[in-house]
Amino acid sequence: MGNVVIDVMLKPEILDPQGQAVNGALPRLGFDQFTDVRQGKRFLLTVDGEVTDEVLEAARKAAETLLSNPVIEDVVSVRAEQDVDASRAEQDEKDPGR
Amino acid sequence: MKVGVVTFPGSLDDRDAARAVRAVGGEPVSLWHGDADLRGVDAVILPGGFSYGDYLRCGAIARFAPVMDQLVPAAKGGLPVLGICNGFQVLTESHLLPGALIRNDHRKFNCVDTRLRVENAQTAWTSDFEQGQEITIVLKNGEGGFVADERTLDELEGEGRVVFRYVVPEGGRNPNGSYRHIAGITNERGNVVGLMPHPEHCVEEGYGPSLDGLPFFTSILKQVVNA
């Protein structure tokens, strides 16, 4: 099982009221060193088997058509991510005494 | 004269839109999001509400509903389409209209009577207004801030495609942070119109602040009869 991680952010010139709300709350908790907050979205797309180039290409297309609106958002990154549980199981098999 | 009203899961104002069509003597036809069929209607209204729970982005999932596969090419071919509130969001997500609607700049849901100026009385949905006329209709939205890049905004203004603007005092704020106080726009052809305020709630005595919503529906009736 493989995953594709897609990060989407509002374009810098688009107002981010959610980020502003978070930014307004931080100083109340004593976090006064941050001057701005922008909030984005992360999508985790799962496939059976390996993340091939075709899978990545399809994920890029999905990111541009449905997952983001190019008028207001940028697709910041589309990348393959090894399934954490699967890789751990693999490790355990190799090294049962770990 | 048949006016289709699309119901998506989460649409709220489809009944009111149908009622407004009936109030001016038109025949409302219910269209279902899951049917790739416009049932021979002469015009279509995309109503307000929260299609697909507003998940992902407002209107983003509705854009890919089977009924939209029929509606998008029909609209490009000249079929009159009015998008109200969530319907406006669906139209921008479908790229039938430029720009996008984002969360209100003050972050609160708005439910107010709004004063609008009619900036273009020549679209399929506004011909029964006077150019420059001021009207009062209700607005209720959480994500109604109209945004677009400077070039698009200049184009919209230059081509007379801003249809409605919020009337605000000099230097004042509009209800949702819309760029250049834009409340509604149209496509090049003038058959597709989207706006955030709700004309369908302002067509009967005793409901809403006025009857200023009626001309939207009488305009389309005439447009279709004359076509």
Q: Is residue A28 part of a domain?
A: no
pLDDT band at B135 (very low <50, low <70, confident <90, very high): very high
As a whole number, mean pLDDT of residues B19-39 equals 97
CA A34 remoteness from chain centre: 22
Q: Long-range contacts for B164-170 (Cβ within 8 Å, ≥24 apart)?
A: B164/B116, B164/B117, B164/B118, B164/B119, B164/B195, B164/B197, B165/B116, B165/B117, B165/B119, B166/B114, B166/B115, B166/B116, B167/B115, B167/B116, B167/B117, B167/B134
- Using the Cβ of B142 and the Cβ atoms of chain A, whether some distance falls under 8 Å is answered with no
As a whole number, mean pLDDT of residues A70-82 equals 93
Q: What is the pLDDT of residues B141-172, one digit of tens each?
A: 999 999 999 999 999 999 999 999 999 999 99
CB-based contact A69 B149, cutoff 8 Å: no
Catalytic sites of B, residue numbers: 85, 198, 200
Q: What is the pLDDT of residues A18-35, one digit of tens each?
A: 999 999 999 999 999 999
Residue among A21, A67, A72 whose CB faces B147 most closely:
A72
pLDDT band at A46 (very low <50, low <70, confident <90, very high): very high
- Using the Cβ of A12 and the Cβ atoms of chain B, whether some distance falls under 8 Å is answered with no
Mark which residues 25-84 of A lie under 8 Å from B by CB.
Answer: 66-67, 69, 71-72
Domain at A60, CATH number: 3.30.1280
Closest residue in chain B to residue A72, using alpha carbons only: B100
ipTM here: 0.82
Three-state secondary structure string covering chain B? CEEEEEECCCECCHHHHHHHHHHCCCEEEEEECCCCCCCCCCEEEECCECHHHHCCCCCCCHHHCHHHHHHHHHHHCCCCEEEECHHHHHHHHCCCCCCEEECCCCCCCEEEEEEEEECCCCCCCCCCCCCCCEEEEEEEECCCEEECCHHHHHHHHHCCCEEEEECCCCCCCCCCCCHHHEEEEECCCCCEEEECCEHHHCCCCCCCCCCCCHHHHHHHHHHHHHC
DSSP conformational letter for A67: I
Whether B7 has a pLDDT exceeding 70, the answer reads yes
Chain B residues whose CB is inside 8 A of the A14 CB are 102, 147
Q: Is residue A82 part of a domain?
A: yes
Q: Is residue A81 part of a domain?
A: yes
The dihedrals phi and psi of B150, each to the nearest 5 degrees, come to: -55, -40
Closest residue in chain A to residue B56, using alpha carbons only: A67
How high is the pLDDT of residue B35?
Answer: 96
Domains and CATH numbers, chain B: 2-226 (3.40.50.880)
Domains in chain A: how many in total?
Answer: 1
pLDDT band at A83 (very low <50, low <70, confident <90, very high): low
How high is the pLDDT of residue B24?
Answer: 96
Q: Is residue A22 part of a domain?
A: no
Whether A98 has a pLDDT exceeding 60, the answer reads no
**Which of B143, B185, B190 lies closest to B43 in space, CA to CA?**
B190
Whether B178 has a pLDDT exceeding 70, the answer reads yes
Smallest Cα distance from A2 to chain B, Å: 23
Smallest Cα distance from A72 to chain B, Å: 7
Distance CA A20, CA A49 (A): 40
- Using the Cβ of B69 and the Cβ atoms of chain A, whether some distance falls under 8 Å is answered with no
Q: Is residue A26 part of a domain?
A: no
Per mean pLDDT, which range of A79-88, B30-39, B152-161 is the poorest?
A79-88
Chain B residues whose CB is inside 8 A of the A67 CB are 56
What letter represents residue B132's amino acid?
G
% pLDDT > 70, chain B? 100
Average pLDDT over chain A, rounded to an integer: 89
Q: What is the pLDDT of residues B87-122, one digit of tens each?
A: 999 999 999 999 999 999 999 999 999 999 999 999
The dihedrals phi and psi of B192, each to the nearest 5 degrees, come to: -105, 120
Enclosing domain of residue A69: 2-14+40-94
CB-based contact B98 A71, cutoff 8 Å: yes
% pLDDT > 70, chain A? 83
